[in-house]
Amino acid sequence: MNCLDFRRAVLSDPRQADGERLAHAASCAACRVFAERQADLDNRLFDAMRVEVPDGLADRVLVAQGPRRRRTPWIWALAASVVLATGVALLVPPGLAGERLAREAAMHAEEEKESFRARQVAAPGFLQAVLADQGVRLAVSMGEVTYARLCPLAGNTARHIVITTPDGPVTLFLLPTDDQRRRRAEIATGGMTAIAMPAGRGSIAIVAANPELARALERALAQA
């Protein structure tokens, strides 16, 4: 492994070191220093990104790197951008990630007005089948599925489902492939209540006109 390959490897994954990398670092002082600085920058970015990322963090990180940046400008710019690009989404704290999903779900439900007017009839067993994809089931029947389609939500694909209950419509968003860790979050916005929660697989969001209805659906969802 030569110096260039070593540095590329460090930039693409600062936290992992295989035998080849270790051997090069042991024999090349310049690359050893490079790897140490990169690990240090990576750790500080990691710490910085454990809190909510404010706009312009990347710029400020680069400014904070001022003296080093002058010495090796492209390396640091590249390092920071690589870490930011790969780190941000995964490092959003679960509580915040839950709240974001709840907000996006509420906004999405509000905007898709036709979802409340639709009177599609889902095949029997449809709801239990899509819930089973996420390791959950509906312990009590809430009503009829009157709308179901695939929608983009929270950078993922969600099943957007409306269940018409005797107390009004409840919207359910199923994200079986969501790999973001999200803690349960409940928010009230625009006269609606939205709950986001982790499922056996992926995440689920519930939107209803009031907290009682949203929580009733949440309680009805049991582990499969």
Which residues contribute to the site for Zn ion (CB under 5 A)? 3, 28, 31, 112, 151, 160
CB of 170 to Zn ion, least distance (A): 14
CB of 2 to Zn ion, least distance (A): 7
CB of 90 to Zn ion, least distance (A): 25
Residue 207 or 221 having the CB closest to Zn ion = 207
Q: DSSP states of the chain as a string? A: --HHHHHHHHHH-TT---HHHHHHHHH-HHHHHHHHHHHHHHHHHHHHTTS---TTHHHHHHHHTHHHHHHSHHHHHHHHHHHHHHHTGGGS-HHHHHHHHHHHHHHHHHH-THHHH----PPTTHHHHHHHTTTEEESS---EEEEEEEEEETTEEEEEEEEEETTEEEEEEEETT--S----EEEEETTEEEEEEE-SSSEEEEEESSHHHHHHHHHHEEE-
Residue 3 or 63 having the CB closest to Zn ion = 3
Residue 3 or 222 having the CB closest to Zn ion = 3
CB of 160 to Zn ion, least distance (A): 3
CB of 104 to Zn ion, least distance (A): 11
Residue 3 or 140 having the CB closest to Zn ion = 3
Residue 112 or 167 having the CB closest to Zn ion = 112
